Structures are given as C-alpha cells and as structure tokens.
C-alpha cells in the first residue's frame, strides 16, 4: 500500500500509467479487499487496472479446506485470470 501512495504523485513519485492486475485472496490479512480497492480508486485513476479476488484464499492463495477447493483449483483460477487479463490488455497492442 505504501508503494501505491508513493507512486501516486501525492508522495512525490510519478503516477502509475501502465496497466496493472491485482490478484489477492479475500482472506488476505496483509491487505484487506476494501483497503486495496480504496487505494486503487484513489491512486491509480490514470492507469488501466483490474482486480481479481480469489474466494477463500489467503495472502499466499492457500485455500481453506472447508471450502472444498484444492491448491490445484486455485492455481487453475490464477492461471485463467492472468491469461485472460493479458489477452484483453495486450491483444490490441499486438507486436507480432
């Protein structure tokens, strides 16, 4: 969160203008979902950014056993989210 504040222009650094993808678990105690959403809204208005919240996952994306998800399930979700974001974000800028 401090890095977002420093880079927002308010802390003297340049504003972030590159596209970004934020992926985190809804049980992440290092950065709660509302805190990240507030920081993105306040500091990344000029950048194309997306957030994806992994249900039941903690900071390291470990799922809760009671949710019936395995690490393989979470890993598949992460790969799909990143792949979709890359395609949507950069397909229009094909350098091929």
pLDDT digits (tens, 9 = 90+) for 55-73: 999 999 999 989 999 999 9
Contacts for 52 with CB less than 8 Å, ≥ 6 apart? 21, 22, 23, 81, 85
Domain borders along the chain are 2-93
Phi then psi for residue 83, to 5 deg, are -60, -45
Quote the pLDDT of residue 52.
93
The whole model's pTM is what? 0.72
Q: What is the arithmetic mean of pLDDT over 13-27?
A: 80
């Amino acid at each position: 969160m401090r890095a977002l504040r420093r880079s927002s222009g308010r802390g003297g650094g340049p504003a972030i203008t590159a596209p970004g993808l934020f992926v985190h678990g809804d049980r992440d105690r290092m950065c709660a979902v509302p805190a990240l959403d507030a920081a993105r809204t306040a500091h990344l208005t000029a950048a194309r950014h997306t957030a994806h919240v992994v249900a039941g996952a903690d900071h390291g994306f470990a799922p809760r056993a009671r949710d019936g998800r395995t690490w393989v399930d979470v890993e598949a979700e992460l790969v799909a989210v990143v792949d979709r974001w890359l395609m949507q974000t950069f397909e229009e800028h094909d350098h091929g």
